[in-house]
A = this chain, B = another copy of it.
Amino acid sequence: MAEVSTARRTRITPEREAELYAAVLDLLREVGYDALTMDAVAARTRSSKATLYRQWGGKPELVAKAIRHNKPGGADDVDTGSLRGDLRALTYREDDCTMQQNAALMRGLFMAVHGNPDLLQAFRELLVEPEMDEFRRIMQRAVDRGEIRADRPALDYVVHMIVGAFATRSLIDDRPPTQDFLMSYIDAVVLPALGVPVP
């Protein structure tokens, strides 16, 4: 296989990478994070464990990258010219089925994070931080356009508001998060907290 090389990080094709990530997510859904082994990933993807470790460093990084890979594209995709448009576009990037699959994956990972500092670090670096950067860019553009005052206190809590609603929806309402729910929440909570008028 192309991965067997003396380079510190070997090159694998994007197709092969996507295939590996898909296998990791399948395993994650089937057995959960704790029971997922690098052996199982190697067997399912017909790779060597050495390759997996060389390429990703370890299970926490591999899993976090696989989940990240599965999420829709970066912030560059989203720039509609208004804050409400941007937040709605973010919501529309995942259909309800994908959103619920991702919610289940995140929940599984969130559960495993406790008592596992390596996973927590990978989770934060590879999933939480990129997500927060994305929101920061969207908010900065809204501030630059004059939609939000730069000293609006809710700017510090955009991710808490949105991820919190996403995470608590099932528990509180016995219903999974959906696009409709998130859009209603954006209009009811996020925009008013930021002082942005809702049409």
Contact = CB atoms under 8 A, between A and B. Distances in A.
Contacts of A187: 153
A184 B154 CA distance: 9
A157 B185 contact: yes
Interface stretch (A12-20, A52-60, A107-115): A107-115
A128 B161 contact: no
* Number of identical monomers bound together in the oligomeric complex: 2
A132 B156 CA distance: 26
A78 interface: no
Interface residues of A, number: 35
Interface string A165-190: 11111011010000000001101111
Contact of A185 (B123, B132, B160, B192): B160
22 contacts: A107-B114, A124-B171, A128-B171, A132-B172, A153-B184, A153-B187, A157-B165, A157-B189, A159-B168, A159-B172, A160-B168, A160-B169, A160-B185, A161-B165, A163-B172, A164-B164, A164-B168, A167-B167, A167-B168, A189-B189, A192-B193, A193-B193
Interface of A: 107, 110-111, 113-114, 123-124, 128, 132, 153-154, 156-157, 159-161, 163-169, 171-172, 174, 184-185, 187-190, 192-193, 195
